[in-house]
Chain A
Amino acid sequence: MPISFQLEDNTVLAKQHFNRVAREQMRPISRKYDEHEHELPTEWVDFWWKEGRKGAPGRIDGPNDGFVTVCVQAEELCWGDAALYLRMPTPALGGSAVGAAGTPEQKERFLSHFRADGHPIWGAMAITEPGAGSDSAAIETTADYDEATDEYVLNGTKIFCTAGEGASQVEGGFVVVWATVDKSAGRGGIKSFVVPARTPGMTLVGLEKKLGIRASDTATLRFEDCRVPAANLLGSARVSKKGGKKTGDKGFKGAMATFDASRPIVAAMAVGVGRAALDFVVEELGRQGVVIRYDAPRTSQTAIERDLMEMEAELQAARLLTWRAAKLISSGKPNNLEASMAKAKAGLAVTQITQKAVELLGPLGYSRKLLVEKWMRDAKINDICEGTQQINQLIIARRILDYPSSMLR
């Protein structure tokens, strides 16, 4: 296959379908759930459970673009509303972890409910702790094996758990919790455990009040002698002193690999929010007679034209870096470097694009009558979650310099 920018027909169909969903189901309630922060967006959740999760209708025989299609879907839905996207009843990141490290039996046990009828359910992943953010290896939540019952006993506190309310409270859902089975082993002792919703000992402590993505439930979860069967451990129980490098154990490395798949999605989410703002500004200014002249000499271009062109170029660069990282997943190739490039670029570009959008619209942009100020608040999360800008710079730097983490901290 040569270099090509041609999306498959099925991807274009999916794009059109999810754009319609975004337009008809998300935009009309976007402001409402930004203002009613901790309220369940029932009309959206019900829509997704009944209709949305079936995917695009009318799919034709033939290929799609694999993970690029997944990114296109994320972009469209986040063009609609990034917070509602995160509130969809899906396995989400918890599902990615089970999918990446789980056995066929575990996949069936935890993911099949998401395809069944019944009520809407959620999956989530709990990594961050009050004292451990990007430095995931420093987590302090413990998992002690109880031989008598063949269970693990979890103790600790997790914060910033996206979809954590739904996943911990609604029967059928689950939270994938990272915990250490052996603190002395460092990263090698870190394992992930599937904790089904409503497991005794798992408590929802509270929900964060945030700058943006307010319709998304960001939970603090406490684990007090929370017992899960040993069969809920994802990956091998073996503790590797070398972080799993030589033993082929999927422990910490396997868990980190989840990010190689999730970062392109976060980047695609960012692009969706950025495009929402840029589309709106271009349309609104167009109504007021400002049209970008791509063929005008620089000396006659206005400052606004230059700004808009820069926003368009940066957004497209971010989108293409995202699709490149996604395409590598479909091709079964490593994408650790490319995923971090996409995430770093998209997170920052879209933060700046949405901030510029507010500026270009003047008082209109600042007003809560429009959604532009919301998009600016929503966009910023993409520069922080799934590894901050700086963590992704660190990963890129280690890759391009061929440095182990001990050389560049």
Chain B
Amino acid sequence: MIDFEPSDEQALIVETVRSFAENELRPAARACDEGSQLDPGILEAAHELGLVANSLPEAFGGGGERSAVTGCLVAEELAWGDLSLALGILSPALLGLPLTDFGSEAQRASLLPAIAGDAYRPGSLALLEPRFDFDVYHPQASAKRDGDEYILEGTKCFVPWQEGLSSVLVVASEGDAPQAFLVPCDAAGLATEPESNMGLRALPTVELRLDGVRVPASARLGEGAGADLRQLVGRGRVALSSMAVGVARASYEIARDYAREREAFGAPIATKQAIAFKLADMATEIDGARLLTWEAAWLLDQGADVTREAALARQKTVQMALDVCDGAVQVLGGHGYIRDYLPEMHLRNARGFSSFEGLALV
């Protein structure tokens, strides 16, 4: 039966994550953005909630509660708190979920227990490439088989690169087929250059150059056909769509509350239709975009191919988040433009969703 209400269990998770986001992420958001760094204490504290571990297989120490819909609920709440911290908190999933979905038994056994373990272990997926005509399904980075090894060549960008990262999952084309390779961060021929972006300033990312990097054949994710990039991209789009909804909701709520407080001509500006109707449209668009995203996530949980639905959810949430955050800056007027308030950061972060791929997974 069709239903738009989270189950009791899902509602409890949402409540827990929302309160964590409100009490831990939101107060730290501005300082992290200004300082261009994530707060390690918060990452550890979030790890204790078991958000990533919960979705990993029980056989490797996880909770065995995999659900893309639940993943979306979690992603939205965290991103509502702060997008950079949310991406940091969920980064172990960038390794954990592809391993779960596509990894060989040996690959899963060697890495999943640590990801599901007591200490926070950052993860990273190198998917994007620094070209305007980048095609996520056909990366230019290449992997050539050479005996028992693969040789990786190419340049990836927007690769999360936190302290403590031990290996990165690099997507490169083996012939015509994109595959994912586990590459140790200290591999010979691998060079990084820190990036600085308009938004997501707290999340450390690098441009990753692969110059004849050799990895053993066993570093390729999965056996036989390997990784299903179509599914991986879909999972990334759904996760990021939920985060776009979270960022938009955060910005909208600030604008709504500001409009109720701020007086002009003797009355709160929210009593003016020009402001009130803008807020009404923002609220409606956020809800519509969320439902589209949930539907794509639900289809993922049914095992369906979501290429179409994830593309539509992405297209919708990218524009919605930008419009809503821009609207929030506008409602706050001059106060929206200064860094005392969060909407200017939300606007910078929201614009990124048109560029981001694979920064989060469900």
Interface residues on chain B, number (Cβ under 8 Å):
47
B276 touches A408 (CB 8 A): yes
A299 to B3 Cα, complex, angstroms? 37
A393 touches B280 (CB 8 A): yes
Q: Which of A355-409 contact B (CB under 8 A)?
A: 390, 393-394, 396-397, 400-401, 403, 407-408
In-complex Cβ contact of A341 among B284, B289, B299, B311 (8 A): B284
Q: Which residues of A contact B133 (CB under 8 A)?
A: 297, 299-300
A397 touches B279 (CB 8 A): yes
Q: Which residues of A contact B273 (CB under 8 A)?
A: 393-394, 397, 408
In-complex Cβ contact of B5 among A3, A323, A396 (8 A): A3
Can you name the residue of chain A whose Cβ is closest to the Cβ of B289? A317
A341 to B291 Cα, complex, angstroms? 13
A317 touches B292 (CB 8 A): yes
Known contacts A3-B298, A320-B291, A408-B276; is A396 also within 8 Å of B1 by CB? no
Most buried by A among B134, B273, B280, B315: B280
A314 to B285 Cα, complex, angstroms? 10
Q: Which residues of B contact A17 (CB under 8 A)?
A: none
Q: Which of A67-122 contact B (CB under 8 A)?
A: 68
A400 touches B279 (CB 8 A): yes
A3 touches B307 (CB 8 A): no
B270 touches A401 (CB 8 A): yes
A2 touches B10 (CB 8 A): yes
B279 touches A401 (CB 8 A): yes
- B2 at interface (Cβ–Cβ under 8 A)? yes
Q: Which residues of A contact B308 (CB under 8 A)?
A: 294
In-complex Cβ contact of B291 among A2, A324, A408 (8 A): A324
- Convert A316-343 into 0s and 1s, putting 1 for each residue whose CB lies closer than 8 angstroms to a CB of B: 1110110110010001000000100100
A393 touches B299 (CB 8 A): no
- A288 at interface (Cβ–Cβ under 8 A)? no
Task: Report the stretch among A4-12, A38-46, A161-169 that lies at the interface.
Answer: A4-12
A312 to B313 Cα, complex, angstroms? 10
A316 touches B315 (CB 8 A): no
A318 touches B312 (CB 8 A): no
The distance from the CB of A350 to the nearest CB of chain B, in whole angstroms, is 13
- Convert A273-301 into 0s and 1s, putting 1 for each residue whose CB lies closer than 8 angstroms to a CB of B: 00000000000000000000011110110
- Convert B5-21 into 0s and 1s, putting 1 for each residue whose CB lies closer than 8 angstroms to a CB of A: 11101100000000000
A324 to B299 Cα, complex, angstroms? 18
A298 to B294 Cα, complex, angstroms? 23
B280 touches A400 (CB 8 A): yes
Q: Which of B1-48 contact A (CB under 8 A)?
A: 1-7, 9-10
- A227 at interface (Cβ–Cβ under 8 A)? no
A396 to B292 Cα, complex, angstroms? 20
B288 touches A321 (CB 8 A): yes
A8 to B289 Cα, complex, angstroms? 24
In-complex Cβ contact of A393 among B6, B277, B287, B311 (8 A): B277
The distance from the CB of A405 to the nearest CB of chain B, in whole angstroms, is 11
- A233 at interface (Cβ–Cβ under 8 A)? no
Q: Which residues of B contact A321 (CB under 8 A)?
A: 284, 287-288, 291
A2 touches B288 (CB 8 A): no
The distance from the CB of B138 to the nearest CB of chain A, in whole angstroms, is 8
A316 to B310 Cα, complex, angstroms? 13
- B295 at interface (Cβ–Cβ under 8 A)? yes
Q: Which of B224-257 contact A (CB under 8 A)?
A: 230, 256
Q: Which residues of B contact A297 (CB under 8 A)?
A: 133-136
Known contacts A3-B6, A316-B295; is A390 also within 8 Å of B277 by CB? yes
- B211 at interface (Cβ–Cβ under 8 A)? no
Q: Which residues of A contact B3 (CB under 8 A)?
A: 1-4, 327
Q: Which residues of B contact A3 (CB under 8 A)?
A: 3-7, 10, 69, 294, 298
The distance from the CB of B5 to the nearest CB of chain A, in whole angstroms, is 7
Q: Which residues of A contact B313 (CB under 8 A)?
A: 313
Q: Which residues of A contact B289 (CB under 8 A)?
A: 317
- A345 at interface (Cβ–Cβ under 8 A)? yes
In-complex Cβ contact of B271 among A316, A320, A408 (8 A): A408
- Convert B261-297 into 0s and 1s, putting 1 for each residue whose CB lies closer than 8 angstroms to a CB of A: 0000000001101001101110111011101101100
- A268 at interface (Cβ–Cβ under 8 A)? no
A219 to B143 Cα, complex, angstroms? 72
Q: Which residues of B contact A6 (CB under 8 A)?
A: 1-2
The distance from the CB of B350 to the nearest CB of chain A, in whole angstroms, is 17
B281 touches A393 (CB 8 A): yes
- A65 at interface (Cβ–Cβ under 8 A)? yes
A396 touches B295 (CB 8 A): no
The distance from the CB of A68 to the nearest CB of chain B, in whole angstroms, is 5
The distance from the CB of A274 to the nearest CB of chain B, in whole angstroms, is 14
- B316 at interface (Cβ–Cβ under 8 A)? yes
A396 touches B7 (CB 8 A): no
- Convert A137-171 into 0s and 1s, putting 1 for each residue whose CB lies closer than 8 angstroms to a CB of B: 00000000000000000000000000000000000
A3 to B307 Cα, complex, angstroms? 21
- B137 at interface (Cβ–Cβ under 8 A)? yes
Known contacts A1-B1, A327-B4, A400-B256; is A313 also within 8 Å of B315 by CB? yes
- A51 at interface (Cβ–Cβ under 8 A)? no
- B339 at interface (Cβ–Cβ under 8 A)? no
B280 touches A397 (CB 8 A): yes
B6 touches A2 (CB 8 A): yes
A396 touches B2 (CB 8 A): no
The distance from the CB of B294 to the nearest CB of chain A, in whole angstroms, is 6
A323 touches B136 (CB 8 A): no
Q: Which residues of B contact A400 (CB under 8 A)?
A: 256, 279-280, 283
- A256 at interface (Cβ–Cβ under 8 A)? no
Q: Which residues of A contact B10 (CB under 8 A)?
A: 2-3
Known contacts A320-B292, A345-B288; is A310 also within 8 Å of B256 by CB? no
A309 touches B311 (CB 8 A): yes
The distance from the CB of A324 to the nearest CB of chain B, in whole angstroms, is 5
Can you name the residue of chain B whose Cβ is closest to the Cβ of A68? B2
Q: Which residues of A contact B276 (CB under 8 A)?
A: 393-394, 397, 401, 408
Q: Which residues of A contact B259 (CB under 8 A)?
A: 401
Can you name the residue of chain B whose Cβ is closest to the Cβ of A66? B1
A331 to B4 Cα, complex, angstroms? 11
A65 to B3 Cα, complex, angstroms? 9
In-complex Cβ contact of A312 among B284, B285, B307, B312 (8 A): B312
Known pairs A309-B315, A393-B273. 8 more at Cβ < 8 A? A5-B295, A8-B2, A314-B316, A317-B288, A317-B289, A320-B288, A321-B284, A396-B280
Chain B interface residues toward A at CB < 8 A: 1-7, 9-10, 69, 132-137, 230, 256, 259-260, 270-271, 273, 276-277, 279-281, 283-285, 287-289, 291-292, 294-295, 298-299, 307-308, 311-313, 315-316
